A = this chain, B = another copy of it.
Amino acid sequence: MAEGGPGPGGGEALLFLTDEQLRKGIEAMFFAYRGFTADPDRILEDLDYGRAHHRAVHFIHRSPGTTVNNLLSILGVTKQSLNRVLRTLIEDGLVESRVGRVDKRERHLYLTPRGTELERMLSDAQRARMRAAYRAAGPAAVQGFRQVLEAMMDPELRRQYQTLKEGGA
């Protein structure tokens, strides 16, 4: 239990690392993530889509022309899982799949106007909540928020995130 006591000798600055503080952070992640997905989920439900569709649409919007393989590594699912989602999105006319010009094995993915419209609806909803949270917490808190989240990622995913982050700025 060493961490708990505010005793003398070097330990006081680490009080934010007690099991109790960490548990609060864990529960905060759990409840916050529910809020984070709640608004898009409501929109998707009416359209008979799920979170998997949202994720695909988001990252195709982020990186137009991305290949299936690329998307797989970002989303971290199997190609069968992704394919099921992509198939419905393509059938419904939200995503277009073009054969690669240099490498004809690849399929490059783009949002159609209707896909762009859905992406807009979803991201508007999600951004509205983020914006409210950011505004309530203030810029300093936001910086800390991002720092902790980055430190929480697996190194592999952090690399992916950094790439996206730079690419989009």
Q: A33-B33, A158-B31 are in contact. Are A22 and B131 (CB under 8 A)?
A: yes
Which of A152, A160, A161 has most B Cβ within 10 Å?
A152
Q: Binary interface profile of A, 52-90, with partner B (CB < 8 Å = 1, else 0)? A: 000100000000000000000000100000000000000
Residues of A within 8 A of B (CB): 1, 3, 13, 16-17, 19-36, 38, 55, 76, 123, 126-127, 129-154, 157-158, 160-161, 164-165, 168-169
Q: Are B153 and A148 touching (Cβ within 8 A)?
A: no
Q: Shortest beta-carbon distance, A106 to chain B, in Å? A: 24
Q: Are A26 and B127 touching (Cβ within 8 A)?
A: yes
Q: Are A31 and B132 touching (Cβ within 8 A)?
A: no
Q: Are A168 and B134 touching (Cβ within 8 A)?
A: no
* A133, B140: Cα distance in complex, Å: 18
Q: A153-B32, A153-B35 are in contact. Are A133 and B145 (CB under 8 A)?
A: no
Contact for A144 among B145, B150, B160, CB less than 8 A: B145
Q: Are A16 and B126 touching (Cβ within 8 A)?
A: no
Chain B residue at minimal CB-CB distance from A146: B28
Contacts of A135 in B (CB 8 A): 17
* A160, B32: Cα distance in complex, Å: 12
Q: A34-B157, A35-B154, A137-B148 are in contact. Are A142 and B27 (CB under 8 A)?
A: no
